[in-house]
Structure 1
Amino acid sequence: MNAISAPSFTAEYQRTVVDALRAVLPERSVLFDEEDTRPYECDGLAAYSRLPMVVVLPESEEQVIAALKVCNALQVKIVPRGAGTGLSGGAMPIADGVVLSTARMNRILSMDLYSRTAVVQPGVRNLAISEAVAPLGLYYAPDPSSQIACSIGGNVAENSGGVHCLKYGLTVHNVMRVRMVTIEGDVVELGGTALDAPGLDLLAVFIGSEGMLGVVTEVTVKLIPKPQQARVILASFDDVARGGDAVAKVIAAGIIPAGLEMMDKTSSRMVEPFVKAGYDIDAEALLLCESDGIPEEVDEEIARMIAVLEASGATAISVSRDEAERLKFWSGRKNAFPAAGRISPDYYCIDGTIPRRALAEVLLGIQKMEEKYGLRCANVFHAGDGNLHPLILFDANIADEFHRAELFGAEILEMCVAVGGTITGEHGVGLEKINQMCVQFSRAEMDVFFGVKAAFDPPRLLNPDKAIPTLQRCAEYGKMHVRRGMLKFPDLPRF
């Protein structure tokens, strides 16, 4: 769709970089032939791609240090990469740069039942942690839809969440310590295994930094006991606005469900034939509301939620009868993205967050945008914390459809900001949302962001020109959308 042509680099320059890296890494860990580097040309946002000049796959922290020292000495830009499931273009290669993948660092180093922690390398899959500690009666709470494939290092980079993040939090709430390597090759530990760590909370700064501050080599995660019981309510609504209002009323009633997700009719109709979860495909909106804990607690919370949903206008309510049915109800929500392929050749997934009170307003606004751009949009999202995941459906083979999808997505994000929300909840900014950073933040705020990056990465070699827009970019975007005091002059110097 939007394959980005990299500026040409000479074979001599590429050979210089390859030779320097192979001097400190095994030959199998340095890839540069096109057939070997092609799989790394994009992340989950496949609409944007670029062939890497070199890919390195270190197998230990020592090899990460060696690779970073070589790149720093040669002033070569580096894109850290996990499993490549990210959806904002954060792992897309940079011209004349190196992609550093931590996929081969995939060992669980230790599990501690008493402290309820696990120490893992960054390439460990999210779901593999829960599978490994299941015999201990524990699990790792953040559960993004890509958990079968995404890596914990990538989760740290994007501050990933999942369908149970309302009650159990995002990655930042479930990671105690990160060991990382700076661009100079220095090893730094952030956080710790105690309840609190001395000094500034740099762990929270690092989590969600999208590979711009350092490369993760080790993560200590919190583990929690598996609940004795979990049950989920599936509620139907004949109006999207009523469904959105019901979400706010559940939270207002003082109930914090383990999961509170919403799907519109387009989503349920594309998912139901795929997973056969028993969804009401005539409903305008479906809510999935889960309770977990001891059986008595679950029974009480389920009853309270049913009362709120009925009072909010639910047209049908069913409750999972056993674990198999609970997983079936969730399978539709978790398979929404792949199911989109059943009704559309392509889709563009947006990620924004809004106050719960604005759910109905934003959903109705998206419906109007469907008419404006002539494209369908399936809405699936973490309703409890207002994290939207609209799927804009398009056909890349039809001229201008992807461009319209991009404009559609940009307008959704800017509407999120307008109602008091943000342009991302868990997918990150990467390349996808960098223009909308100019809408959300003032120049002074972005100067602070650049200051943080400069403190960790003075030469600006780690994933540069992503996540934080330059003054030049904001000025260019300001020609179309002037916000927060941005100027209209495209010839201003780059920050």
Structure 2
Amino acid sequence: MTRAPAVSSALARRLAAALGPAHVIADPAELRVYACDGITHGRTTPALVALPGSTEEVVEVVNAAREAGVPLVPRGAGTGLSGGARPSPGSIVVSLARMRRILELDLENGWARVEPGVINLDVSRAVAAAGWYYAPDPSSQGVCSIGGNVAENSGGAHCLKYGFTTNHVLAARVVLSDGSVVDLGGPAADAPGYDLLAAMVGSEGLLGIATEATLRLLRKPEVTRTFFATFPSTDEAGAAVSGIIAAGILPAAIEMMDRLAIVAAKAATGLDWPDVGAALLMDADGCRAEVEHVAARAIEITRAAGALEIRVPRDEAERQLMWKGRKSAFAAVGRISPNYLVEDGVIPRSEIARVLREIERMAAEAGLRVANVFHAGDGNLHPLVLYDARNPGEEARAAALGGEILRLCIRSGGSITGEHGVGAEKAAYMAEQFAPEDLETMQRVRCAFDGAALMNPGKVFPTPRLCGERPGPYRPHPAEVAGLAERW
């Protein structure tokens, strides 16, 4: 674990005075809780943790850190899977966990204004009785927060039909690194001016700290039809996915799991799923007449692709149990492996079967196992690389295999991330997907929001160090002082 240098006692006292002593964490044992996010194999202890309770208190934290030259790392619920909330050396973690109020509901116009610490699923719960819901549904939606979803542009099983977080955020209030507060977007569609909100959603904490978000709400569909299908292998399951989409069917969700992921889900939930090579779980929703037709047609295509068995839930309780099996898959892998890495690559749907075969070959060469569970409808893979950190060298082999899987996604016409973000884990692969000119343009956008590079430094962009650079608060390199180099 990397230990960060301590910040000055004067800065700690200033934050304690602004937020209250109970809302500033400096005890070394308590700081260890914030050393990582959902990716636990990389840890850095922060210098301090601040827990502001309002936009005004976030401004106080930002101003104090800027004047002291200390970097800030925004943090939601800590469920991220790319190291995005991992502290930078010498940083203050700004946890938004106290800001959990739903500030305003406007069901007449279909939106909710919330603070960043509100749990994703709680938005839907707050409006369910009136027949509304919030569509983005990460598998961790029972514990992940809206602020983290905004930072990572989180998706979920139903993003195939309904889109990602960016399609459901109408406005955001943001604190920038100079302490200013800006409002981006608005509750009405098509706010005038440049779409700066689109830059903010998915910016992974590099542009500012969102302290409010206005979310688009949707009416609950009239009916939802679900089916679960099993296959001899991922080849037939992939063919079923391609056939369903090629037929012009747009499922609300269509998820795939391979044999190892099914074994893990069964161990965690007790589901009576059979021992098969692959499984699909599909939702169709909307108007009753359309949904009944679409679901029946999708089942026909699935049978023609070689399905072994198709199950239709008898009631809502059985349907929810099927989805519990899918959504518990990440955590369930802990039942069959002491450690695992979560990757998040994207490939064209037509490449699913070939890429899964290649992943299996690569895993065998590395002497490791990979469980695959993913959003098959949009080709968003989540290979889980299983390993045992107690065995010397095995963690390094797992990390190397994860990197090769990301490279395979790039070669297959895809991307290194679909919804988990780049964070610290995938920054090294950005230069393999983007040209130097692309990365420079992205850095210029970042600098327009945060010229001081105060927010979440060391994330997203590959940063090979110049001779003489050191971790901790940024100090200009001599080449910059001489006007020979420029920092982005």
Q: Shared topology, TM-score over 0.5?
A: yes
Aligned to 1:350: 343
Q: Distance in 1 between matches of 2:29 and 2:464?
A: 37
Distance 1:14 1:33 in 2: 14
Give the conservation status (yes or no) of the 8 Å contact 1:449–1:468: no
1:45 aligns with 2:39: yes
Higher mean C-alpha displacement, 24-33 vs 160-169: 24-33
Aligned-partner Cα distance in 2 for 1:224–1:168: 10
Taking the aligned partners of 1:163 and 1:420, their CA distance within structure 2 comes to 22
In the alignment, the residues of structure 1 paired with residue 23 and residue 277 of structure 2 have an alpha-carbon distance, to the nearest angstrom, of 51
Q: CA RMSD in A?
A: 1.4
Task: Give SS of 2:18's match.
Answer: coil
Offset, 1:493: 9.1
- Percent identity reads 49
2:389 matched residue in structure 1: 396
Map 1:66-465 to 2 at 5 A. 66-281=60-275, 283-465=276-458
C-alpha separation between the residues in 2 aligned to 1:5 and 1:138? 46
C-alpha contact 1:379 1:389 (8 A) present in aligned 2:
yes
Show the counterpart of 2:2. 4
Report the number of matched residues: 470
Deviations 1:409-432 (A, max 9, x none): 000001000011000011001110
Cα-to-partner distance string for 1:235-289 (whole Å, 9 max, x where unaligned): 11112112112211111110010110000011111211322333222x2110111
- SS state at 1:193 partner: coil
- Matching residue's letter, 1:147: Q
| Partner SS state of residue 324, structure 2 | helix
> 1:290 is paired with a residue of what secondary structure?
strand
Q: Please say if residues 428 and 461 of structure 2, whose CA atoms lie closer than 8 Å, have aligned partners that are also in contact.
A: no
In 1, distance between residues paired with 2:123 and 2:65? 32
Deviation at 1:321, TM superposition (A): 2.0
| CA distances 1:377-415 after superposition (whole Å, capped 9, x unpaired) | 100000001111111111111111110110010000010
The one of the two structures with greater contact order (alpha-carbon pairs below 8 A, sep at least 6) is 2
Letter in 2 for 1:129: V
SS at match of 2:226: strand
Aligned to 2:19, what secondary structure does the other structure show? Answer: coil
Structure 2 counterpart SS, 1:48? coil
Report if aligned partners of 1:231, 1:323 keep a CA contact under 8 Å in 2. Answer: no
2:54 to 38, 60, 65: 60
Equivalent AA in structure 1 for residue 334 of structure 2: G
Q: 5+ unaligned residues in a row in structure 2: which ranges?
A: 467-484
The answer to whether the 8 A contact 2:233-2:258 is kept is no
Structure 1: 5+ residue stretches without partners? 474-491
* TM-score in terms of structure 1 length: 0.93
Letter of the structure 1 residue corresponding to residue 428 of structure 2: N
Give deviations 1:151-184, integer Å, cap 9, x for gaps.
Answer: 0000000000111111111100111111111011
Amino acid at match of 2:446: K
Q: Which secondary structure state, in structure 2, belongs to the residue aligned with residue 370 of structure 1? A: helix
State whether residues 231 and 322 of structure 1, in contact with CA within 8 Å, keep that contact through their aligned partners in structure 2.
no
The alignment partner of 2:170 has SS state of strand
- 1:137-156 deviation per Cα after TM superposition (whole angstroms, max 9, x unaligned): 11101110111110000000
Amino acid at match of 1:59: G
Counterpart CA distance in 1 for 2:334 and 2:198 is 36
Distance 1:186 1:280 in 2: 56
**2: distance between equivalents of 1:168 and 1:493?**
41
> For residues 114-134 of structure 1, what are the alpha-carbon distances to aligned partners after superposition, in whole Å with 9 as ceiling and x for unaligned?
111111000000011111111
Q: CA deviation at 1:451?
A: 0.2
SS at match of 1:80: strand
